Amino acid sequence: PTNAIQPLRLLLIGCPGSGKGTQSGRLEKNFGVSHLSSGDLLRRNITENTLLGQQARQYVADGKLVPDNLLISLIDKELLHVGNTNWLLDGFPRTVNQALALDASLNRIMQPLNLVINLQVPEDIILQRIMDRWIHIPSGRVYNLSYNPPRVAGVDDITGEPLSQRPDDTPEVFKVRLEQHHAMALPLLDHYQNVVVNVRGNTSDEIYPQIEKEIVNRLGALPGAHLTHT
């Protein structure tokens, strides 16, 4: 068919605390996009003490990058399950090596990326944001005590389960994560220079409409889109 609507294959890039998880949650809710977050997957593996969790635990605690081979096989496995749905990647790839591996996997399943969004948030406001951050580990849902607090303090809105603060959301570990990010960001953005779109703002509320506009402009309405936006 000539008017076939392309499924969304989105990659979100941005420094730690730039709101990748928050934006992903909104896209999931408003467009039914499957959210693949390397950080969420690692934290779940660490909580469940799987072999991968044991291998990754110390790197994550220190704010260091987990070795490429572990991440590449983790995401490959996830991509087998997404099928022909709309999906977005958050936190992967983080290195050019990972990006090359992803390109190869996506070629194999014939689902090339069609949008890469780079979130740009001023660094001076990010530390406060992550200090105010609480997460629900099983789902990856993110709350912020100033911007979007849970309805009941310390409790996930949907499941009623307890929220936690990430052990790597301390000023010390955050500094390491930011340094890691800076070392990796330019080569990665360079790899995607032909498809990357920059969006900028101080809050996720400022940035979200820009992402939505980009998606609609480039891909038209999404199949299965939930049209009641929040």
Nearest C-alpha neighbor of 26 from the set 220, 223, 218, 207? 207
Among residues 9, 20, 43, 129, the one annotated as catalytic is 20
Interface pick for ligand ATP out of 38, 45, 86, 144 (rule CB under 6 A): 38
3-state secondary structure of 178: helix
Nearest distance, CB of residue 139 and Mg ion, angstroms: 13
Residues with Cβ within 8 Å of residue 136, at least 6 apart in sequence: 143, 156, 158, 159, 161, 163
Site string for ligand ATP, 168-207 (x = CB under 6 A): x--------x------------------------------
Binding positions for Mg ion, rule: CB under 5 A: 20-21, 39
Angle at 228 between CA 227 and CA 230, to 5 degrees: 130
Among residues 9, 26, 43, 94, the one annotated as catalytic is 94
Bond preceding residue 16 cis, omega within 30 of 0: no
Stretch of 59-67, 106-114, 191-199, 200-208 lying at the interface with ligand ATP (CB under 6 A): 59-67
**192 interface partner picked from ligand ATP, Mg ion, none, CB below 5 to 8 A per type:** none
Stretch of 25-33, 87-95, 99-107, 150-158 lying at the interface with ligand ATP (CB under 6 A): 87-95
**CA terminus-to-terminus distance, the chain:** 32
3-state secondary structure of 222: coil
Nearest distance, CB of residue 61 and ligand ATP, angstroms: 8
Q: How many CB atoms lie within 10 A of CB 172?
A: 9
200: annotated active-site residue? no
Q: Nearer to ligand ATP by C-beta: 24 or 86?
A: 24
Q: How many CB atoms lie within 10 A of CB 37?
A: 21
Nearest distance, CB of residue 225 and ligand ATP, angstroms: 25
Give the whole-angstrom CA distance, residue 192 versus residue 9: 14
Nearest distance, CB of residue 112 and ligand ATP, angstroms: 19
Q: Which residues bind ligand ATP (CB under 6 A)?
A: 16-18, 20-21, 38-39, 42, 59-60, 63-66, 71, 91-94, 98, 168, 177
